[in-house]
């Protein structure tokens, strides 16, 4: 009876947490659409969004498009949605890697997986391919495989070994990207460098819909298999004893997380540390059960990313900072703290 009561309490806490984070995400998104070079009140943003919804469903047609409506519906609104999707993807990918590798330092950016996605996207741009997410996802999958292979060759998954493997892969891929940029035109080089610094892009509804289907579909797959991820987090030998086909499941995780990382990197460049910080916040608040952690990490990632992007475009407005710089400023000290704790726990 005690266990049942405890489980019911956890479920109730999780449900209230989901409701609270959904409300906070909506509030943060609304405030983000108000802020910028042109300030728009909250009430006006809500009115514009409501008229936009009525127009989409065909109840109302907007004959005269005002400046504020263009800003909200075509610029800030799509950008806020993109930031939410980016935060969801990176946070869930980070939570998955940390459980799969049983390593608190695992993160798509630190492990070189984001660099692999960026390298794939740059190659696709150089060759004139139109479908960047596929090339970026393949690059992310290849780099993730290489990092795991390098880390396993030492016979253990020590945090320092994994981080060093990520550093090696990152350095190699950075060199490859530098060589590719050297063969690009001056205009293309400026665009690629700005993109690599990490910037949330404003996309059309069609592109946003495609990204949303990839991101939300991948998160749903990981949530569906979250129980197996909990088994894997206990160790591969334990998972095998409990009937999990470990190698096949690890490849499933690598493919899904590579898709998550590749899709967002293809359009927004390298944005680091979101996948490192957010899962730890989620575990601190709601525990390490991935059935609870994955949706919590998705919502927290969306909130963190919208806040970071809003700061990036308002701190020195009308100019704009790369959002990757904002996340790195917050994530760098956090990474050093985790590295110090990991070192003490293994010495």
**Tokens of residue 225, six digits:** 């298999």
- H or E element, residue 333: helix 323-345
Helix (H, G, I), strand (E, B) or coil at 198: coil
User: From the CB of residue 263, how many other CB atoms can be counted at a distance below 10 Å?
Assistant: 27
Residues 6+ apart with CB under 8 A from 231: 238, 239, 242, 244
What DSSP letter does each residue of 250-261 carry, written as one string?
Answer: HHHHHHHHHHHH
Cα(148)–Cα(34) distance, rounded to whole angstroms? 43
Q: What is the DSSP letter of 72?
A: I
Question: Which of 266, 267, 288 has its CA nearest to residue 279?
Answer: 288
Residue 38: DSSP 8-state: S
Cis peptide before 278 (omega within 30 of 0): no
The pair of structure tokens assigned to 165 is 């493997």
- As a whole number of angstroms, the distance between CA 124 and CA 169 comes to 20
Cα–Cα distance, 57 to 72 (Å, whole number)? 18
What top-level class would CATH report for the domain 76-345? mainly alpha
Domain boundaries, the chain: 76-345
Is the distance from CB of 162 to CB of 105 less than 8 angstroms? yes
HSE of 106, CA atoms in CB hemisphere, 13 A: 24
Neighbouring CB atoms inside 10 A of 43's CB total 9
* CA separation for the pair 98, 63 (Å, rounded): 51
Per-residue pLDDT tens listing for the chain (347 residues): 455 676 677 777 888 889 999 999 999 999 999 998 888 888 888 888 888 776 655 555 444 457 888 888 888 999 999 999 999 999 999 999 888 888 887 888 888 888 899 999 888 888 777 778 888 999 998 998 888 888 776 555 565 677 778 888 888 998 988 888 888 777 777 777 877 888 888 888 888 999 999 999 999 999 998 989 988 888 778 888 888 888 888 889 888 998 899 999 989 988 988 988 999 999 988 888 898 999 999 999 999 999 999 999 998 878 888 898 888 888 777 777 776 765 544 33
């Amino acid at each position: 009876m005690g266990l049942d009561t405890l489980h019911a309490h956890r479920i109730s806490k999780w449900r209230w947490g989901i409701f609270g984070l959904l409300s906070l995400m909506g509030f943060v998104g609304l405030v983000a659409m108000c802020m910028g070079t042109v300030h728009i009140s909250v009430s006006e943003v809500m009115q514009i969004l409501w008229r936009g919804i009525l127009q989409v469903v065909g109840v109302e047609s907007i004959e005269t498009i005002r400046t504020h409506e263009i800003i909200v519906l075509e610029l800030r609104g799509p950008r806020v949605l993109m930031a939410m999707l980016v935060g969801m993807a990176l946070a869930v990918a980070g939570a998955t890697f940390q459980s799969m590798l049983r390593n608190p330092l695992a993160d798509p950016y630190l492990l070189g997986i984001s660099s692999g996605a960026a390298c794939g996207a740059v190659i696709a741009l150089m060759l004139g391919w139109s479908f960047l997410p596929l090339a970026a996802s393949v690059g992310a999958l290849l780099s993730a495989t290489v990092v795991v292979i390098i880390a396993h060759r030492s016979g253990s998954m020590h945090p320092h070994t994994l981080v060093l493997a990520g550093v090696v892969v990152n350095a190699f891929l950075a060199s490859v990207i530098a060589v590719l940029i050297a063969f690009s035109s001056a205009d293309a080089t400026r665009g690629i460098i700005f993109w690599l610094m990490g910037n949330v892009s404003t996309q059309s509804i069609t592109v946003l819909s495609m990204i949303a289907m990839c991101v939300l579909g991948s998160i749903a797959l990981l949530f569906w298999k979250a129980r197996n991820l909990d088994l894997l987090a206990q160790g591969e030998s334990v998972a095998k004893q409990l009937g999990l086909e470990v190698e096949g499941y690890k490849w499933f995780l690598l493919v899904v997380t590579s898709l998550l990382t590749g899709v967002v990197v293809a359009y927004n460049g390298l944005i680091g540390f979101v996948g490192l910080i957010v899962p730890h916040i989620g575990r601190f608040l709601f525990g390490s059960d991935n059935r609870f952690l994955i949706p919590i990490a998705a919502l927290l990632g969306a909130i963190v990313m919208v806040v970071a992007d809003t700061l990036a475009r308002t701190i020195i407005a009308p100019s704009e900072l790369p959002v990757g710089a904002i996340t790195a400023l917050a994530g760098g000290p956090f990474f050093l703290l985790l590295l110090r704790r990991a070192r003490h726990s293994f010495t």
